[in-house]
Structure 1
Amino acid sequence: MTIEKETKSSMEGAVAHLQSELKNLRTSRANPSILDSVSVEVYGAKMRLRDVANITVPEPRQILITPYDSNNTGVIGKAIENANLNLQPIVEGNVVRINIPPMDAKMRESIAKQCKRKGEDAKVVVREVRRKNNELIRKQKADGEIPEDLMKSLEKKIQELTDSYCKQIDEICEKKQEEILEI
C-alpha cells in the first residue's frame, strides 16, 4: 500500500471512529443508538441489548424495547439502569419503555462540549497520522529511496488530506452540536 493510501485509510478510520462515538451522545430526540453500550446478562452470558431485544422509537421522545424472550424484560430494565445513561426504564409487561426527558440548557452545553472534545481528539489522531507518515517519507529520503521532489510532493498531498479530514471532522461536530443544542 502506498503512503498516500495508507494515510487516507488511517484518517478515514479516525473519522469513522468519531462518527460512532458521536452516535452515542444524547440529543433531545430518542435515538436507539444511545443504548449500544448496554450489555445484558442473559442465559449465563453477557450480550448486547440489541442482540436480545428489538429496539424501536414509537414517539420522538420514547424508546420501546421488546425482548425476544419476555422472561428477560426485568433484566433488561436493570441493565439500562446500571448503564449510567441517566435514563429511567419502565417495565410494562413484556416491554420496556424509556421516556427521554427534555434536556435542560446546562445538560445541552455539557454534551455539546463532549462533542467538541471528541472532535478535537479525532483531529489529534489525524495530525498524528500526518506526523508519522511525514517522518516515514523523510526517512525514505534520507536513505536515498525517494528523491527530494517526490518527498515534497508527498508531504504536500498528506497536508491536503490532513486539512480535508480536519474540515470534515469540524463539519460533523458542528452538525452534531446543532442537533444537541436544538430544543
Structure 2
Amino acid sequence: MSIAYDLKDLQRRMDGAVSAFKHDLASLRTGRASSNLLDPVMVNAYGSSMPINQVANVTVPEPRMIAVSVWDKQMVGAVDRAIRESNLGFNPIMDGTTLRIPLPELNEQRRKELVKIAHQYAEQARVATRHVRRDGMDALKKAEKDGDLAQDDVRIRSDKVQKMTDDTISAIDSALAEKEAEIMQV
C-alpha cells in the first residue's frame, strides 16, 4: 500500500468529519428558518419510516416560517404528527395540504442549550479527526518497522499528517465559533 495514497485517504476522511459536523450544525435552530431544521423528522408513510423530504416539499417563505407542502392529502396528518413528536419544539398549523410552522423566538436558556449541543458535535468531529490521525501515524510506524520508509521520511510524513489534523481541527473550531455567534445573536 502506497503511503502517498494513504495521505489522500486521510485527508478525505478528515474532510468527511468536517462535512458531517457542518451537516449536524445545520440542523440546529438559530431563530432563523431553514429547510434543514426538519431533516431529522421521519414520517410513518405507506408502512415504513421515511424522511420528510420524501413525502413533502419543505420551503422557507419568510425568515421565521417553514412551509411543508405535503404531496399526498392522506399523509398530512402523519406529517403533522411526525413534526410534533420530533422534540424540535414545533407546532405546525394545518392549511389544507400545507403545514405552516412558525419559529418561536429563542430564549436565553434555549440558546445556551443549543450552544452546548454545538460543542458536543464539535467534540465528536475532533475525536473523529484524531482517530484518522492515529490511523495515519500507525500506518507510518508500521511502514518504518517493515523497512518501507526511512526514519527521516516517517518524520516528514508524520509532520504532514499532524499539519492536516491541525488544519482540520481549526476548520471545526471556526465553524463552531461561527455557529455559536449565530445562535447567541438576538
**TM-score, structure 2 length as denominator?**
0.94
Name the aligned partner's letter for residue 146 of structure 1: L
| Cα root mean square deviation, aligned | 1.2
How far off its partner does 1:46 sit? 2.1
- Partner in structure 1 of residue 100 of structure 2: 97
- Partner in structure 2 of residue 12 of structure 1: 15
How far off its partner does 1:37 sit? 1.2
Please give the residue correspondences for 1:12-161 in structure 2 after superposition, counting only pairs within 5 Å: 12-161=15-164
Name the aligned partner's letter for residue 132 of structure 2: V
Name the aligned partner's letter for residue 46 of structure 1: S
* Aligned 8 A contact 2:71 2:97 in 1: no
Secondary structure class of the residue paired with 1:91? strand
* 2:166 counterpart of 1:163: yes
Secondary structure class of the residue paired with 2:164? helix
How far off its partner does 1:43 sit? 2.3
| CA distance, structure 1, for counterparts of residue 117 and residue 173 of structure 2 | 14
Q: Runs (4+) of structure 1 moved beyond 3 Å?
A: none
| CA distance, structure 2, for counterparts of residue 143 and residue 27 of structure 1 | 52
Name the aligned partner's letter for residue 61 of structure 1: R
Note the alpha carbon deviations across 1:10-67, whole angstroms, 9 max, x for none: 1011101101111111111011111111111222232211111111111111111111
| CA distance, structure 2, for counterparts of residue 75 and residue 131 of structure 1 | 45
| CA distance, structure 1, for counterparts of residue 74 and residue 6 of structure 2 | 53
| CA distance, structure 2, for counterparts of residue 156 and residue 99 of structure 1 | 50
**TM-score, structure 1 length as denominator?**
0.96
Secondary structure class of the residue paired with 1:64? strand
| CA distance, structure 1, for counterparts of residue 43 and residue 145 of structure 2 | 55
Name the aligned partner's letter for residue 27 of structure 1: T
* Alignment coverage as a number of residue pairs: 183
Name the aligned partner's letter for residue 172 of structure 1: A
Secondary structure class of the residue paired with 1:58? strand
Gaps of 5+ in 1: none
